[in-house]
Amino acid sequence: MPGHGLLAGRTAVVTAAAGAGIGGATARRFLEEGARVLISDAHARRLKEHAERLAGEFGSERVAAVPCDVTDENQVRALFDTALREHGRLDVVVNNAGLGGTSSLVDMSDDQWTHVLDVTLNGTFRCTRAALRRMREAGAGVIVNNASVVGWRAQPGQAHYAAAKAGVMALTRCAALEAAEYGVRVNAVSPSLAMHPHLVKVTTPELLEELTAREAFGRYAEPWEVANVIVFLASDYSSYMTGEVVSVSDRHP
């Protein structure tokens, strides 16, 4: 969609941005709004392909890509060091990386629980910490975390994911208070049901139908609709907002 220059001249890092989900849509919307974007993902091949598509459309000087597994502290450091080295500044960070799955609590293994928490909550912590350490020196910056409605609303089979996303919400609020003294804002979006190919692969048609029926508009969100809210939170239009978790089209709980 046509941009309005809301992020003109700014440098943004977006994690888990390879593909057609919220991260990929956010990277595209940031570019449409004039930002330079460094995208990352644990899937190097998909990341390279997506970066090439965006560079072909918006110019190679505005798009860069760095593979990053957010469970690896060294890779997280390298990601943010690259942003500063390549662009000389870090204005916006979108912590989109997350991992779900479906398992009843009684059948869930320690590995299932730990892996979801490590990617979704600990990964957000690592990236938030890395971003704040660099933004603190600049005295400005914006961080937007991707939470989920299941952080508010119970859903069978989602104990690990719900716990992780509730943790992201709490992390957002605490980080916002700490970051305010150096001029950095931290907020989160809480999507309910945003459709993308990966969700179709890991969710049964019956569950998707049930979840869609719960939506206020009777349909799922498109990833770009969530990305529009992220653009708002990253822009100066939300200059007095921090520590907020913004629900994107859902009736909760």
Cα gap 163→5, rounded to integer Å? 37
The span from the CA of 138 to the CA of 148, in Å, is: 30
Helix (H) or strand (E) holding 13: strand 11-14
Task: Determine if the peptide bond prior to 2 is cis (ω within 30°).
Answer: no
Which of 161, 182, 237, 240 is catalytic? The answer is 161
Within its chain, how far is the Cα of 221 from the centroid? Answer: 16
Cα–Cα dist 222/225, whole Å: 5
161 catalytically annotated: yes
Given the DSSP bridges, would you call strands 141-146 and 92-95 parallel, antiparallel or unpaired? parallel
Q: Which residues are catalytic?
A: 161
